[in-house]
Structure 1
Amino acid sequence: MVLPLDPGLRAGGGGSADAGADAVPARAAGSWLSRRRAVVRAGLPRTGLAVVCGVLLALSFPPYGAWPLSLVAVAGLSLLTYRRTPRQAAWTGFAFGAPFLIWLLAWLTVIGADAWLLLAVFESLFLALMAAGLAVVSRLPGWPVWTACLWVAQEWARDRVPLGGFPWGRLAFANTSSPFTPLAALGGAPLVTFAVALGGALLAAAALALRTGARTRSGRAKALGAVAFALAAGLVGYAVPLPTAGTTAGGPAQADVAIIQGNVPHAGMDFLGRPMQVLQNHVRATDALAARVAAGKAEQPQLVIWPENSSDVDPYTTPEAYNAIQQAVDTIKAPILVGALVDGPDPQHVQNEGIVWAPSNSATPGPGAHYTKQHPVPFGEYVPFRAVLSKYITRLQRVARDFAPGTRTGILQVGPARIGDVICFEVAYDGIVTDAVDKGGRVLVVQTNNATYEHTDQPDQQFAMSRLRAVEHGRAVLIAATSGISAVIEPDGSVQQRTKLATAAEIESTVPLRDPLTLADRVGAAPEWTLAVLGLLAVAAGVATAGRRRADERETTPTKGPVRDGQQH
């Protein structure tokens, strides 16, 4: 900011030279402070509105699920950053992002308030950078399109860095049961985000047109046009077909499945209780299902899904656990996908696995093919920079051994079904789920353990992600959770069955097995990269345009020279 010269410096004279030398800096300092206070006071309403918009965006996510608020929040941020300076807009973006993410990620308080606030504040920096870009592109023709591209670019970066990224809070995950949802089948979660952001930005453009030209025909026409395009962005999804029937190209068209939710002793960080307790819960629930099948009260399942951590001890090294699982498999007379932590490649590592366990009368009884989780969670399943950080953060010692990441996609044959297995938070990452479908998964399985976050919003937020994946890939999604939410989701995203939290439960269902790939599967990450790059190019164009404009202004501004004989030179 360039401040006008203090009047005392222009006037000269008045008092001794020493007195003037002392007074001028004091007056200049006072003037600067007063002006800074005035700037801060003037910006408070804008900051307050940004906070409100951030809270509205948080309310658009589960468990509240008020998805139209995501449009309102995007429109609000677009208006607050419209033709502001990048610095002003960056602060507005941070004031928007911090309350949004603090609210959304409140479930992390289970781990610690420091982890919750640090992650929320750090992730808010991505939104601050995006907001600075919004201010730049708001001076370009077609700025609502570039605004939507920048939302995709922001999510692209946040989904990948640092330490593999953290995809929570994507606009698409607030719109898993909205008119925008079917667009996932065309371009995945990034296309849903783009459409939502475009709709919000167009609503902002309509508001601006009304504000500047409400009494003119052209102003009203611009506003109506922006609203019409916003409606089109939302309604176009209804034209996307979402087939749900099973196909036979890769095997049977359907499979009878059972999902076991055995429950845990208690929620929180120490959900496991005593060793073998969680495993015994799942064995008992499976035995109860087998008894109902034998009595003719339930259909014989062709495969059974147990959740992540359903075996709370390594079944390979614990004979009691091995025998308990084999007994349950033989009793139900169907293969079980078991979730277990097993010893890793060295004493410092463990592996989070889904293991196919076959009955004793099969060709290859016992544990067989397995999938190892590819994306362990930083600070939850492994500690980055352990040698340094553990000296200062003693709580990290609770993660006694790091999880070793897997290197293969989770394609497993379980009974008649070729499944694509993903474990817990992996459902949030586009590439992992897409690979599972591209490499032959005919139904998606999400093995998860949400018991740590049982009494928080996290299970509902993760459940919503699974609904989007069903539409994106045209696959039924089977969720098996230790204590909920377990569910069967149809390929069109509709929920066939779901369980309650903190209960033992069992789901039986006949699910379609599908082979065709959606357009989103075929194009992969291309839409995301394209939209993100377009957003960044728009920022570069905006910066270049602003630079040329400033240069033109300098050239056209007359230079004031010394005045001689009444003439300026």
Structure 2
Amino acid sequence: MSAPTVTSQNSAEGQPGRRVAGGAARWLRIIAVVAAGLLLYAASPPRDLWWLAPLAVAPFAAAVHGRRTRGGFGYGVLFGFAYMLPLLGWIQDFLGNQFGPWPWLGVALVEAVFLGLAGAGMARVSSLRGAPVWMAAVFVLCEALRGAQPFGGFPWGRLAFTQPTGPLLPLASVGGAVLVTFAVALIGCALGVLALRLRRSRTRLITPVVAVLVPLVAGAALWPTVGVAPEAGTARVATVQGNAPDIGLDLLYEDDVLHDNHIRGARRLVEDVRAGRVPRPDLVVLPEQVGSWGPTRYDPELSAVTAQLGVPVIAGGFAQDPDGTFRNRIVEWDPERGADEEYAKQHLVPFAETIPMRSVARLVSPFVDRFQQDMVAGDVPGVLQAGAIRLGVGLCYDVAYDDVFTGAAREGATLLAVPTNNAWYGHSEMSWQHLAMSRLRAVEHGRAVVVSATSGISAIIRPDGVITARSEQFTAQNLHGDVPLRTERTLATTLGAAPTWVLSLLGVGALAATARRRAHDKN
């Protein structure tokens, strides 16, 4: 154990030159972490620059290395705000005209505070041997907290979601999104520590070099194991993107337009099938918010088009249950029975589908007046028997959370689907960010994924994350293609939340170790 050293602040008292130098170094660190946050944003979809993400973490890790807890927190907030503000620019596109920049700034700041906690924790554990490992584990811990709190969390902008391509993506099949986040953070922290040691002519370079290489080599080695074979045959799927008006908040009161546009799109599919221009699909997936149904699920137009297609149709919509409960649901329409099996969205959007503090929320959310009662979340994995297909479903925001498709894959889903309504956010990057999550989930569970969006981006994704068909934004466009149906469980599906707990506990243990060591040093 090394002896405590005198801080530079104390040793510089009465020495103006050192104080000036210390101030200049602080400003350089501030500039570095802000630039790092912007660089991490540049690594995010729609840009396919996966390699930028660890390079962005590196200067952040270097800036907090060896700093006090308070300094680490400050640098983390700056890093987080520089990242989250442009990443969440779609909130401004959505709410800006009526509510100004305050919801956008507020959400970005709250998320930045969690990254501030990451910076504080990383600063503390940076003094431990094997620092990059512990710093990455602390980052995972804070990302897990961010995905759970407050109001159910907001896991948007996880490091894993910058990796829809590249050598780290296969790690999702082993440890899910959390292992991909850990790999990105580990490489970045190792690069930061390596740069510091090279700058100070240190020779202890083996640990950071190994920490950079191991995730990259492991990911590349796992690529051949990512399964794409049709173990349960293949299915021809079709999506209907009926389009929506690009009117932002005014879409709140255009339910009939969304319904009619998608019925029209489904009828075009019927005509194409009858004319032989498109092979008859085995399953048709319509987006979220296509319908609005009472307890009887009465929708004669959707029932008619399903009967004409002669195959199951999946559609999302607002639905009231017989007991008055209001839910965001996916309903399967059978050609003969009509409305059949259902799924209720498990993760509701705070201040939209569920509204805490309604009197205050009215200042930042138009949904307070649109929905007089909160929706109720479902708690059952979404697996619908659509003909011969065991379809695992999640609605829009669900895809950001690890548990939804894990539950579906464990219940025997052979194909995954994500109905969504992204029309609220105009031509922003939100739809691309959302699509990247679906690509990661495909690899995580070894299943093809069908994304059906009202206004784009709809897509058909192979189990290895490759997009085989994709729509344009704000166009009426149907997609179709063959997908493999798969039954094999990935290790990530089997392990579920275990990697999150293990890596988070590593972070907690590292923080506890620093507390014990400081207490010992004081004694």
For normalisation by structure 1, the TM-score amounts to 0.84
Matched, 1:543 2:522: no
Once residues 73 and 388 of structure 2 are traced to their aligned partners in structure 1, the CA distance between those partners, rounded to angstroms, is: 53
Contact preservation (8 Å) 1:196, 1:234? no
Once residues 230 and 151 of structure 1 are traced to their aligned partners in structure 2, the CA distance between those partners, rounded to angstroms, is: 16
Counterpart of 1:231 in structure 2 is 213
The structure with more radius of gyration? 1
Counterpart of 1:22 in structure 2 is none
* Among 66, 70, 92, the residue aligned to 2:49: 66
Counterpart of 2:402 in structure 1 is 430
Contact preservation (8 Å) 2:132, 2:211? no
* Gaps in structure 2 of 5+ consecutive residues: 1-6
Residue 79 to residue 394, structure 1, CA distance change in 2 (3 Å): closer
Deviation at 1:467, TM superposition (A): 0.3
Deviation at 1:399, TM superposition (A): 3.9
Contact preservation (8 Å) 1:266, 1:273? no
Residue 391 to residue 532, structure 1, CA distance change in 2 (3 Å): closer
Matched, 1:389 2:394: no
* Among 320, 326, 329, the residue aligned to 1:353: 329
For the residue of structure 1 that corresponds to 2:248, the secondary structure is coil
Once residues 492 and 300 of structure 1 are traced to their aligned partners in structure 2, the CA distance between those partners, rounded to angstroms, is: 25
Counterpart of 1:324 in structure 2 is 301
For the residue of structure 1 that corresponds to 2:166, the secondary structure is coil
Counterpart of 1:341 in structure 2 is 318
Deviation at 1:265, TM superposition (A): 2.6
Counterpart of 2:382 in structure 1 is 410
Counterpart of 1:289 in structure 2 is 269
Contact preservation (8 Å) 1:59, 1:65? no
Counterpart of 2:257 in structure 1 is 277
Contact preservation (8 Å) 2:245, 2:423? no
What pairs with 1:177-196 in structure 2 (closer than 5 Å)? Answer: 177-196=165-184
Contact preservation (8 Å) 2:440, 2:465? yes
Residue 501 to residue 317, structure 1, CA distance change in 2 (3 Å): same
* Among 282, 293, 297, the residue aligned to 1:314: 293
Counterpart of 2:132 in structure 1 is 144
Contact preservation (8 Å) 2:103, 2:364? no
RMSD of aligned C-alpha atoms?
A: 2.4
Counterpart of 1:128 in structure 2 is 116
What pairs with 1:148-547 in structure 2 (closer than 5 Å)? Answer: 148-213=136-201, 219=203, 222-223=204-205, 226-240=208-222, 241-248=225-232, 253-271=233-251, 274-311=254-291, 313-314=292-293, 322-344=299-321, 350-359=326-335, 362=336, 365-386=337-358, 388-389=359-360, 395=366, 396-547=368-519
Residue 316 to residue 225, structure 1, CA distance change in 2 (3 Å): closer
Code of the residue aligned with 1:171 in structure 2: it is L
For the residue of structure 2 that corresponds to 1:522, the secondary structure is helix
Counterpart of 1:106 in structure 2 is 89
Residue 213 to residue 3, structure 1, CA distance change in 2 (3 Å): closer
Residue 381 to residue 394, structure 1, CA distance change in 2 (3 Å): closer
- 1:484-523 deviations in whole A, cap 9, x for unaligned? 0111100111111111100011111111111110001111
Counterpart of 1:55 in structure 2 is 38
Residue 385 to residue 59, structure 1, CA distance change in 2 (3 Å): same
Once residues 142 and 9 of structure 2 are traced to their aligned partners in structure 1, the CA distance between those partners, rounded to angstroms, is: 35
The runs of at least 4 consecutive aligned structure 1 residues that moved more than 6 Å come to 1-4, 35-41
Contact preservation (8 Å) 2:133, 2:211? no
Code of the residue aligned with 1:47 in structure 2: it is I
- 1:141-178 deviations in whole A, cap 9, x for unaligned? 11111011111111111111111111011111111211
Once residues 8 and 212 of structure 2 are traced to their aligned partners in structure 1, the CA distance between those partners, rounded to angstroms, is: 40
Deviation at 1:307, TM superposition (A): 0.6
Residue 274 to residue 127, structure 1, CA distance change in 2 (3 Å): closer
481-490 or 393-402, larger mean C-alpha shift: 393-402
Residue 275 to residue 42, structure 1, CA distance change in 2 (3 Å): closer
Residue 88 to residue 104, structure 1, CA distance change in 2 (3 Å): same
Deviation at 1:379, TM superposition (A): 0.3
Residue 414 to residue 394, structure 1, CA distance change in 2 (3 Å): closer
Contact preservation (8 Å) 1:306, 1:336? yes
For the residue of structure 2 that corresponds to 1:270, the secondary structure is helix
For the residue of structure 2 that corresponds to 1:163, the secondary structure is coil
Deviation at 1:40, TM superposition (A): 6.4
Contact preservation (8 Å) 1:382, 1:399? no
- 1:512-556 deviations in whole A, cap 9, x for unaligned? 1111100011111111111111111111112222333344xxxxx
Deviation at 1:317, TM superposition (A): 6.4
Code of the residue aligned with 1:119 in structure 2: it is V
Once residues 83 and 406 of structure 1 are traced to their aligned partners in structure 2, the CA distance between those partners, rounded to angstroms, is: 45
Once residues 87 and 391 of structure 2 are traced to their aligned partners in structure 1, the CA distance between those partners, rounded to angstroms, is: 31
- 1:270-317 deviations in whole A, cap 9, x for unaligned? 226655222221122122121121122210111111110122x32666
Deviation at 1:134, TM superposition (A): 1.1
Once residues 380 and 461 of structure 1 are traced to their aligned partners in structure 2, the CA distance between those partners, rounded to angstroms, is: 20
Counterpart of 1:10 in structure 2 is none
Code of the residue aligned with 1:409 in structure 2: it is P
Residue 533 to residue 275, structure 1, CA distance change in 2 (3 Å): closer
Contact preservation (8 Å) 2:130, 2:207? no
Residue 438 to residue 48, structure 1, CA distance change in 2 (3 Å): same
Code of the residue aligned with 1:354 in structure 2: it is I
Residue 509 to residue 539, structure 1, CA distance change in 2 (3 Å): same
Deviation at 1:85, TM superposition (A): 0.9
For the residue of structure 2 that corresponds to 1:282, the secondary structure is helix
Percent of counterpart pairs with the same letter? 39
Residue 94 to residue 393, structure 1, CA distance change in 2 (3 Å): closer
- 1:115-160 deviations in whole A, cap 9, x for unaligned? 1111111111111111111111111111111011111111111111
Deviation at 1:225, TM superposition (A): 6.1
Deviation at 1:232, TM superposition (A): 2.9
Once residues 3 and 455 of structure 1 are traced to their aligned partners in structure 2, the CA distance between those partners, rounded to angstroms, is: 49
Contact preservation (8 Å) 1:344, 1:404? no
Once residues 392 and 56 of structure 1 are traced to their aligned partners in structure 2, the CA distance between those partners, rounded to angstroms, is: 33
Residue 267 to residue 246, structure 1, CA distance change in 2 (3 Å): farther
Contact preservation (8 Å) 1:351, 1:403? yes
Code of the residue aligned with 2:464 in structure 1: it is D
Once residues 416 and 128 of structure 2 are traced to their aligned partners in structure 1, the CA distance between those partners, rounded to angstroms, is: 43
Once residues 508 and 546 of structure 1 are traced to their aligned partners in structure 2, the CA distance between those partners, rounded to angstroms, is: 61
Once residues 362 and 174 of structure 2 are traced to their aligned partners in structure 1, the CA distance between those partners, rounded to angstroms, is: 48
Once residues 42 and 279 of structure 2 are traced to their aligned partners in structure 1, the CA distance between those partners, rounded to angstroms, is: 41
Contact preservation (8 Å) 1:459, 1:484? yes
Residue 55 to residue 317, structure 1, CA distance change in 2 (3 Å): same
For the residue of structure 1 that corresponds to 2:54, the secondary structure is helix
